[in-house]
Structure formats: C-alpha cells, structure tokens
Amino acid sequence: MINVSTIIAGVKLDGCVFNASGIRCETLTDLENLAKSESAAILTKSCTLEARKGNPIPRYANLEYGSINSMGLPNPGYKAYLKFSKIIKKKYKKPFIASICGMTLSDNIKMFKEFNNTPIDLIEFNPGSPNTIGKPIVGYDFTQMDRLLNAISKVAKKPFGIKLPPFFEPIHFNQMAKVLKKYPVKFITCVNTLGHGLAIDPKTERAIIKPKNGLGGIAGKYIKPTGLGNVRRFYELLDDKIQIIGVGGIYTGTDAFEYILAGASAVQIGTAFLQKGFGIFETVQDELTQIMKAKGYTKLSDFRGKLKTL
C-alpha cells in the first residue's frame, strides 16, 4: 500500500499535493471547488487588510514553459476569508490554509490576530509579493523579516509558515535560515515567482502584460531548477526542524518526486493548475504513487531529503 499522506505543522494531509496561493482560490466558489477536488488542502489567495482590485489587465499570460503575471494581489480583503473559513470548515474536513500578505506591519499583526479566532488550520505568510506595484519584496530584507517575524510570533496562535522568494546567493540562504530559526516558524514554502521577468510578442513588438511596463513574475517550468535548489539548500540549513513545501514548475509526478527527494514534505501546484484544471492534483499524485511503487517506496519518508550527489 502506497501512502502519500503528509503532516505539515501537526496538521495531517491525506495527500502531499495541493494548490499554490494565487490560482483559483480567491472566491468562496473557488475554495469550495478546491475542497471537492483532489487537492490535499485548501489554500486561499493572499489576502490584504482591504479589498484590492489588483494591477491593470492584461496581467497574466501563458508562455511556452510556464507563465508570466503581475496580478497585484487582487482579493476581497481578509474579512471575506474569515467568513469563508467558517463556511468551508463547517462543510468540509480538508485542511484549510489562509495566506496573509499585509501591506504594513500593523496590517499583518491585525490579520494574524483575527485569524486566531477562526477554524483555519494553518497560515502561510507571504511577506511581499514580487508583483505589487510600489512595494518591495520583503523576503530579501533580512532586517525587516526579523522585525516582522518577531512581531507576528507574539500574536499568532495558529501554526504559521513563510512563503519565500527565490534566493541565489549562498550568504542569503544563510541569513534567512538564521532569521527563521529564531522564531516558531513551522514551515517555509519555496519558491514564489521569479520577479521582474519580461515576455515580448515579437509580432506586435509589445510586452505581453501591461503592469510595470511588462515586467512580471515568471512561473512554471522556467523556475523548477531554482525551486529545487532553494528547497535543497534550506533543507540542509534548517536541519529538518522547519518543514519545506516545494513549489515551482510541478506538472508531473516526477516533478513532485524530485521536490520531495530534495527535502520537501509537500508540494504546491500553481501554473499547471491554471493551465490544466482541477484534475492536475489527482494526475500528479497518481503519477507520484506509480513512481514510488516502481522504486519500492511505500511512504514519503522513504526517500524525502535523500538526494544523492556525485
């Protein structure tokens, strides 16, 4: 019997594959559809204190090996998700994860406090989207991250994790790991989109999306090697004391297998979910099961983190 269940921050998931924040998870209908799908959890759109319309359209486009977007965090505001969480958890047993992305420290503190009084299971803190006009990617500011986590840790009663941007320099991995270890962070999600990419239509000689003169976050297969590298490096640095959720370019069971082999305890699907629909969760998990069966693995711990090097 192949078991692909996992436990994140003490919360059991019947599978190890679920949705990434931002894709088809904004409305109550979206969340109910996720609840009915084979996604192992229900993760919301990153919410802000007030409702946001997001960036001007067109702000998303499919590319040959993934996608580019500059959505700008469109969402109905955190109060809507407070209500949604109560409705969803009353009707469905699946783990519910709220994504929070406040524009200021006080915004984040207020939202964390408010979610303490809901039936949600976990919080994924998204400290600065790469596609919010006029806002920096806070994940690259280690002093600010320290300040944020210090404040949040004092008010959060729900287990929480951090969605991190992609890192590239060895010293940055070390600096972030040092900050994370100071606080009760239960998991990290690696990685967010690769910011400030540009996609051009050569026929029209125009940028493909409108916001920020065409610059947006790159996702999909383009960023899989970066995602794998980030998962692996943090797995080594965090000594398996903080769990890792892998995301970036997961289209197949092989992709999921590689992320888990690198050290991930679960994986999220974003671009492939948007492109291929709700069936992608079942497809990836079934393919992962077949790979495990062929290799003689019966559970994720049989191979998680056990990447061989040359």
pLDDT digits (tens, 9 = 90+) for 56-91: 999 999 999 999 999 999 999 999 999 999 999 999
Tell me, what's the pLDDT at 204? 98
The amino acid occupying position 57 is I
Q: Which residues of the chain have pLDDT under 50?
A: none
Q: 173-205 pLDDT, tens per residue? A: 999 999 999 999 999 999 999 999 999 999 999
Domain ranges (residues) in the chain: 6-57+76-195+220-302
Question: For residue 287, what are its two tokens?
Answer: 């393919």
Domain boundaries 6-57+76-195+220-302, CATH class: alpha beta
In this predicted structure, what is the pLDDT of residue 137? 83
Q: Which pLDDT belongs to residue 136?
A: 73
